[in-house]
């Protein structure tokens, strides 16, 4: 394929380069047209018309690339929902979109006499989210299949609901590979004997493993792994004490642990494909606050601040010196209860100073992504992170690691 594009989930907060790769023919290109299709909903329901058309007819003898990320971002949103699920669910609508590029390239070949060749086609369909990649990952870095949360270990409240995202990988070649293979075989007139138990490919079940060794296996279904919706490429698994407990009860089990439990993604042979560990934490003195933010992969991530918090109000406004008093037959007089300086446009915002409590060194990844997230919520209300500079702590330097973060409500106290 002469068009180079992503193959799976890529973040639109970084450039998404689409390249017309014609190698030795690059110097002979006369014009390139890209039709950009961006849509939500079913993978096989691409819009009839492209959302954008890009055209270029002036070249410097090189392959040509277009950055389509700004266009893709126009179709992405991150609804604040999906944290209370008691079964397998999916990323909120608008969190992930499908993208495909139709191309038309004209170039002059090396025939005698030279002829203008018209080449057309379509890229693979890939997914995009409000994520990003970092500089050292190079261009068009795609999200790896597996857990799409930041840390392998997380401290959570000892009650309540949370979910953890899982990206299934490239369509038909990720954790859904068995079902895609089965569909191809049947489409070619063949048959598939047995079930997934006969195939050691893809995601077979989710294991909930307590620190005492008690484990629960919950099998994944075809409908869960082969959801045609764009947001269906990201599973949300219950991981909070309350909603995970409800999920395991649905298979007649009980969530059993002492200090922590793990959620493991496994294939048919029991090989662990990816894992996350959760430490339910009881905070006796303070009321924990839960912050959620859009992480590097473009999905909701949570972090709990267990320790001391402070709340302050920053008021703002303007004032002017007004004229007071009046003249009468008795002379000029004014009331001493009438202010000479009058305030107006007065409003305020609340600030919160939060502390994580003792955490592991790997929490620096959460803090880093939190600080550069464009969408942050605190206990269900929108906030902006005010902290602009923070030291990423190391256990070799700091025996106990605690992060202090300041946030500001993303709205005024007085609605205007």
DSSP H helical segments within 288-337, as ranges?
A: none
Give strand pairing partners of 20: 3, 64
Return the ∠ at Cα 180 (arms to 149 and 68), rounded to 5°.
Answer: 55
pLDDT, position 332: 92
| Model confidence pLDDT, tens digit, residues 278-329 | 999 999 999 999 999 999 999 999 999 999 999 999 999 999 999 999 999 9
Query: Element (H or E) spanning 350, and its range?
Result: strand 341-355
3-12, 70-79, 263-272, 388-397: least confidently modelled range:
388-397
379 in helix, strand or coil?
coil
pTM of structure = 0.89
The mean pLDDT value for 377-386 works out to 96
Whether the per-residue pLDDT at 366 is higher than 90: the answer is yes
Q: Could you give the percent of the chain with pLDDT greater than 70?
A: 91
More confident residue, 19 or 107: 19
| Model confidence pLDDT, tens digit, residues 167-186 | 999 998 899 887 666 555 55
More confident residue, 117 or 375: 375
pLDDT, position 60: 59
Whether the per-residue pLDDT at 188 is higher than 60: the answer is no
pLDDT confidence of 20, banded at 50, 70, 90?
A: confident
The mean pLDDT value for 102-131 works out to 87
> Closest Cα partner for 33 from 100, 134, 102?
102
Token pair, residue 17, equals: 């380069």
pLDDT, position 106: 86
Token pair, residue 14, equals: 């970084």
| Model confidence pLDDT, tens digit, residues 211-247 | 999 999 999 998 899 889 999 999 999 999 999 999 9
Token pair, residue 293, equals: 């933010």
Whether the per-residue pLDDT at 264 is higher than 90: the answer is yes
Cis amide leading into 113 (omega within 30): yes
pLDDT, position 23: 65
Place of tokens 């859009």: 294
Spatial distance between the Cα atoms of 397 and 410, rounded to a whole number of angstroms: 35
The mean pLDDT value for 138-153 works out to 94
More confident residue, 29 or 55: 55
More confident residue, 56 or 376: 376
């Amino acid at each position: 394929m002469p068009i180079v594009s992503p193959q799976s989930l890529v973040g639109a907060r970084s450039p998404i380069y689409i390249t017309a790769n014609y190698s030795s023919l690059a110097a002979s290109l006369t014009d390139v047209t890209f039709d950009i299709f961006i849509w939500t909903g079913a993978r096989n329901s691409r819009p009839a018309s492209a959302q954008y058309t890009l055209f270029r007819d002036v070249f410097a003898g090189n392959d040509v690339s277009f950055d389509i990320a700004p266009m893709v971002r126009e179709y992405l949103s991150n609804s604040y929902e999906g944290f209370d699920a008691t079964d397998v669910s999916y990323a909120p609508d608008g969190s992930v979109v499908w993208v495909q590029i139709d191309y038309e390239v004209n170039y002059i070949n090396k025939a005698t006499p030279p002829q203008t060749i018209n080449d057309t086609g379509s890229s693979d369909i890939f997914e995009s989210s409000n994520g990003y990649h970092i500089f050292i990952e190079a261009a068009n870095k795609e999200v790896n299949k597996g857990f799409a949360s930041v840390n392998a270990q997380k401290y959570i409240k000892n009650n309540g609901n949370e979910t953890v995202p899982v990206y299934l990988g490239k369509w038909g070649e990720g954790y859904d590979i068995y079902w895609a293979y089965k569909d191809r075989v049947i489409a070619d007139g063949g048959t598939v004997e047995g079930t997934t138990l006969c195939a050691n490919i893809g995601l077979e079940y989710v294991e909930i493993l307590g620190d005492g060794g008690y484990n629960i296996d919950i099998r994944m279904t075809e409908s869960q792994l082969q959801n045609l919706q764009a947001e269906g490429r990201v599973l949300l698994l219950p991981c909070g004490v309350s909603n995970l407990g409800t999920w395991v009860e649905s298979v007649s089990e009980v969530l059993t642990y002492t200090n922590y439990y793990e959620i493991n993604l496994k294939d048919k042979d029991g090989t662990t494909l990816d894992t996350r560990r959760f430490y339910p934490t009881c905070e006796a003195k303070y009321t924990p606050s839960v912050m959620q933010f859009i992480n590097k992969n473009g999905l909701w991530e949570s972090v709990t601040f267990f320790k001391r918090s402070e709340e302050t109000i920053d008021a703002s406004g303007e004032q002017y010196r007004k004229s007071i008093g009046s003249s009468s037959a008795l002379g000029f007089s004014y009331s001493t209860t009438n202010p000479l300086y009058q305030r107006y446009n007065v409003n305020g915002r609340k600030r919160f100073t939060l502390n994580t409590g003792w955490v592991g060194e790997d929490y620096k990844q959460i803090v880093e992504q939190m600080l550069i997230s464009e969408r942050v919520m605190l206990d269900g209300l929108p906030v902006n992170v005010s902290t602009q500079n923070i030291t990423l702590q190391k256990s070799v330097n700091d025996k106990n690691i605690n992060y202090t973060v300041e946030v500001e409500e993303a709205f005024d106290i007085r609605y205007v």
